[in-house]
Structure 1
Amino acid sequence: MARTDTAFRVIAVPPARAFAALVDPAALTAWLPPEGMSGRFDHFDARPGGAYRMVLTYADASAAPGKATPGSDVVEARFVDIVPGVRVEQAVDFVSEDPAFAGTMLMVWEVTGVEGGTRVDIRAHDVPAGISAEDHAEGLASSLANLAAYLER
């Protein structure tokens, strides 16, 4: 059965600033990798039909084995839709030999102005079975905390 994971956070910045951090590769490299990881893009083209490849490297590979190599995860994504100032939809695939990580996950990031700033919502549809709900919840929360720290500094 397909699984959908969700998370949100209110960040004390205007929606335009929060949205900009969802489509800027320098910003994404700074905040998207969850705690204990760093990231880099091999390529990045933020437009509907554009794509990116991001390599996420674990600071301590012994703590969490990677999906692509013992110390890394590789994500290949296509931008399905971008509604400026509102939403970014991405079709995401993990590079892995393990069939538990196969399949395309649809990631939807949305920003909404609320009292006190911007609510940033993440919805991950069709999460691969190899990603535990607990680990994914921690990863999403960590990325949102990183985004808040990045934007609120």
Structure 2
Amino acid sequence: MTRTDRVGRWIDAPRESVYHALVDRGALETWLPPEGMSGRIEHWDPRPGGGFRMVLTYLDASGGPGRPPGKTTAATDVADIAFVDLAPPERVVQRVEFTSDDPSYAGTMTMTWECVEAAGGTEVTVTATEVPPGIERADHEAGIASSLAQLARFVG
């Protein structure tokens, strides 16, 4: 059975600003890594059919309670992300494949970032479909919520 995770947040910024942060390399490296991680983009091709490789590194590589294991190494998550659809300023659709020897992270997850004008700002909803079973729902939703909080600070 496939799983869908969904997280939303209102952001005090125009949706054009939010959309730009979704498709700008430097912006993504700044706000996309969830709390407790840093990020680096290894290649960048911002067009439908293009994409990027994101390397997320845990700031505390020692692991421990409350921290999920890395998908690629104990300290990293590496994902190849393809842009499926870019519809400014409303939507970004991405296909995400994790680099991992663990089959529970195999497969292609689709992430849709929707930006809707709302109450003088932008309601951003992230919908992830076909989520690999190795990614715990609570961890995934907390990670997305953390990224959205950082996006709000970045564009706010």
Which secondary structure state, in structure 2, belongs to the residue aligned with residue 61 of structure 1? coil
Aligned residue pairs total: 152
Query: What is the aligned-residue RMSD (CA, Å)?
Result: 0.7
Which secondary structure state, in structure 1, belongs to the residue aligned with residue 133 of structure 2? coil
Shift of 1:84: 1.3
* Residue of structure 1 in register with 2:71 after alignment: 67
CA distance in 2, matches of 1:151, 1:80: 24
Give 1:46's aligned amino acid.
Answer: P
Runs of 4+ in structure 1 deviating by more than 4 angstroms, as ranges, are: none
Give 2:71's aligned amino acid.
Answer: K
* Residue of structure 2 in register with 1:41 after alignment: 41
What does 1:1-150 correspond to in 2, within 5 Å?
1-63=1-63, 64=67, 65-150=69-154
Shift of 1:77: 1.0
CA distance in 1, matches of 2:15, 2:84: 21
Shift of 1:46: 1.1
TM-score, reference length from structure 1: 0.97
**Structure 1: where are the runs of 5+ without partners?**
none
Which stretch of the first structure deviates more once superposed, 64-73 or 124-133?
64-73
**Structure 2: where are the runs of 5+ without partners?**
none
TM-score, reference length from structure 2: 0.95
